[in-house]
Amino acid sequence: MGLLTVDASGGSVQLTHVVQFASPSYAGSQVGRVQAVYRFASDYSQWEECVKAIETLHFSNLQGIIHLVGV
**Has this prediction a pTM greater than 0.85?**
no
Q: Dihedral, CA atoms, 55, 58, 59, 60, nearest 10 degrees?
A: -130
Q: Which residue has the higher pLDDT, 30 or 70?
A: 30
Question: What pLDDT sits at residue 45?
Answer: 96
> What's the pLDDT score for residue 12?
87
- Residue 8's closest CA among 63, 65, 53? 65
Each residue's pLDDT tens digit, 8-57: 888 888 999 999 999 999 999 999 999 999 998 999 999 999 999 999 88
Taking the domains of the chain in order of start, what are their residue ranges?
A: 2-69
The pLDDT, as a whole number, for residue 47 is: 94
Looking at the DSSP bridge assignments, the partners of residue 47 are 50
